[in-house]
Amino acid sequence: MRRAWAGLALAVLACGSPPPRAADAPSRRPPILSTPQAEGDAGREGAKQVEAAIGLVEDAALRAYVQAVGARLARNAPGFRYDYRFEIADDGAPNAFALPGGRVYISRGALALTGSEDELANVLGHEIAHVASRHAAAQQQVAGGAVLRTLQFQSLPAYSRDLERSADRLGQGLAAVSGYDPNGMTAFLVALDRLDRVQTGASRQPGFLASHPGTPGRAHEMGQRAGTIHWTRGPTVTADAADHLRRLEGLAVGTDVAQGVFDGPRFLHADLDFTLRFPDGWETVNTPQAVAALAPDRRMQMVLELAAEGRDLAAAAAAFEERLGRSLAIEVAGPVRVAGRDAFRLEGRTDGAPLISTFLHHRDRVFQLSCVGEGRSRLEALCNVTTRSFRPMTPELLAKVTGHELGLVEARAGETLSALGTRSANTWSAAETAAWNGLAPGAPLRGGQLVKIARVVAWQPRAEH
């Protein structure tokens, strides 16, 4: 949940359906990607949804770096001259994707995993290859129009094995012709495989809707292909790998505290100065748009979102009614008192399910907590307890709002990763540190070698823009 959004629609979940995804695209007929122009239109619309669902890293210098590398690759991209744009998705998991029409995203998790500009260029080159080859249009023909139906980051449909292999070849070649080492993709995939093994105990392998080759196989194939590619080093944005790493220093790893964090069932948002406690045992999710919880039996959900700027509770409630339209049937509406503060409550039904939506004023913003599900009396009881838990942060709670950022440490000659981690207060294990740095576990370090670590950072108030 970010501090800058407002007026976003409630993600209403039908009872018994999958967990809430506050940023899902509305149900509509997907665009037909018949021409590059249609792809551009679809990509621009998709970008709004993706960026609202995921958010973007706002570091101007880091964004400029990624965009400069991407622009250099795009100048050599084959086919239609798409309006390529490059952004860093605010997601801690290593990933990258492209939308039709040239919108390319690399997650901050993937960016943190890269060890050089060559690796970054190869990842971006792979995604440019999908766009230049119009793979979304090709996949749409196979999937019957499913491409772009769901635009949440982790839910983007996977390309077929053949299309992934094609993007591997073209992307690696694009990096090489742009003056980058084609072995950069091999190095990135090896690091990704090691990280997968550390985090999950297994490599990434093909699965349902993920039919591209597993990471080890792709790394092997691309390593062999790199050896056959003739390339010449061109001018680069960074001076060397160390320069690349220094540009990444300070990048959030894992959960970004600016979006709020969970302490058990309690949600803490220091930037927006509020806390809320969901029922024990409920599944929780935090997105840039909203924070939500789902009951264990999946028959109730609660969603907290920012309804409006200002103090007008009734106006925020009226705007919500207008957005939902005929899907919302209001039975009771009016001002109430919640834990000693003024509030406005709507009670009714949405798509047949009981709904209770309470609007609360806090720090010149109107927040909306909506509870929907089966069993009116139980829903009301749980919703009332959760609504009363909404309050300002305390110094004790603020002290719990900590995150992690990427740091750099110069190794001592012959030092082990364990020893380096101990002296630098690294929160990654030696195995994790090796994976994030593309190193073999147990390998001795060179004197002066820059090593990526994760360090704890306490929340600090940010200046208003």
* Per-residue DSSP letter, 199: H
Nearest to 362 by CA among 285, 292, 308: 308
Considering 23-27, 147-151, 256-260, the range whose residues carry the highest mean pLDDT is 256-260
Weakest mean pLDDT among 208-212, 237-241, 388-392: 208-212
> How confident is the model at residue 310, as a pLDDT?
95
> How confident is the model at residue 39, as a pLDDT?
81
Weakest mean pLDDT among 76-90, 105-119, 194-208: 194-208
Joined together, the tokens standing for residue 230 give 């003739």
pLDDT in tens, 287-319: 878 999 999 999 999 999 999 999 999 999 999
Q: Is the pLDDT of residue 423 over 80?
A: yes
Weakest mean pLDDT among 50-54, 278-282, 307-311: 50-54
Weakest mean pLDDT among 155-159, 262-266, 368-372: 155-159
Secondary element (H or E) of residue 256:
none
Please report, for the chain, the start and end positions of each structural domain, with discontinuous segments joined by +: 36-239, 293-390, 402-458
Interval 13-23 mean pLDDT: 31
Q: Is 421 exposed, middle or buried (0-12, 13-18, 19+ CB in 10 A)?
A: buried
Weakest mean pLDDT among 33-42, 268-277, 329-338, 383-392: 33-42
Interval 436-443 mean pLDDT: 89
Interval 412-422 mean pLDDT: 95
> How confident is the model at residue 214, as a pLDDT?
60
Backbone phi and psi for residue 369, each to the nearest 5 degrees, phi listed first: -110, 115
Cα–Cα distance for residue pair 180/427, rounded to 1 Å? 33
In this prediction, residue 70 has a pLDDT band, given cuts at 50, 70 and 90, of very high
Our CA dihedral for 325, 327, 329, 330, rounded to 10 degrees, sits at: -50
> How confident is the model at residue 52, as a pLDDT?
77
Report yes or no: 184 and 82 within 8 Å, Cβ to Cβ: no
Interval 373-392 mean pLDDT: 95
Interval 107-134 mean pLDDT: 94
Q: Is the pLDDT of residue 463 over 70?
A: no
Cα–Cα distance for residue pair 422/444, rounded to 1 Å? 15
Amino acid at residue number 65: Y
Cα–Cα distance for residue pair 124/167, rounded to 1 Å? 11
Cα–Cα distance for residue pair 93/247, rounded to 1 Å? 19
| Domain 293-390 class, CATH top level | alpha beta
Question: In this structure, which topology does domain 402-458 adopt according to CATH?
Answer: Membrane-bound Lytic Murein Transglycosylase D; Chain A (3.10.350)
In this prediction, residue 141 has a pLDDT band, given cuts at 50, 70 and 90, of very low
Our CA dihedral for 443, 449, 452, 458, rounded to 10 degrees, sits at: 130
Weakest mean pLDDT among 163-172, 304-313, 344-353: 163-172
pLDDT in tens, 83-101: 999 999 999 989 899 888 8
> How confident is the model at residue 395, as a pLDDT?
94
Interval 163-181 mean pLDDT: 91
Q: Check residues 19 and 447 and name the one with the higher pLDDT.
A: 447
Q: Is the pLDDT of residue 79 over 70?
A: yes
> How confident is the model at residue 29, as a pLDDT?
52
Cα–Cα distance for residue pair 200/204, rounded to 1 Å? 9
Report yes or no: 359 and 352 within 8 Å, Cβ to Cβ: no
Q: Is the pLDDT of residue 159 over 90?
A: no
> How confident is the model at residue 17, as a pLDDT?
29
* Per-residue DSSP letter, 463: P
Q: Which residues pair with 373 in a beta bridge?
A: 300
Cα–Cα distance for residue pair 115/156, rounded to 1 Å? 26
In angstroms, the Cα distances linking 22 to 9, 113, 292, 302, 323 are: 8, 28, 8, 11, 15
Report yes or no: 103 and 46 within 8 Å, Cβ to Cβ: yes
pLDDT in tens, 391-407: 999 999 999 999 899 99
Secondary element (H or E) of residue 335:
strand 328-338
> How confident is the model at residue 155, as a pLDDT?
39
Beta strands in 230-327 (DSSP E): 252-253, 261-263, 266-269, 274-277, 283-286, 290-294, 300-309
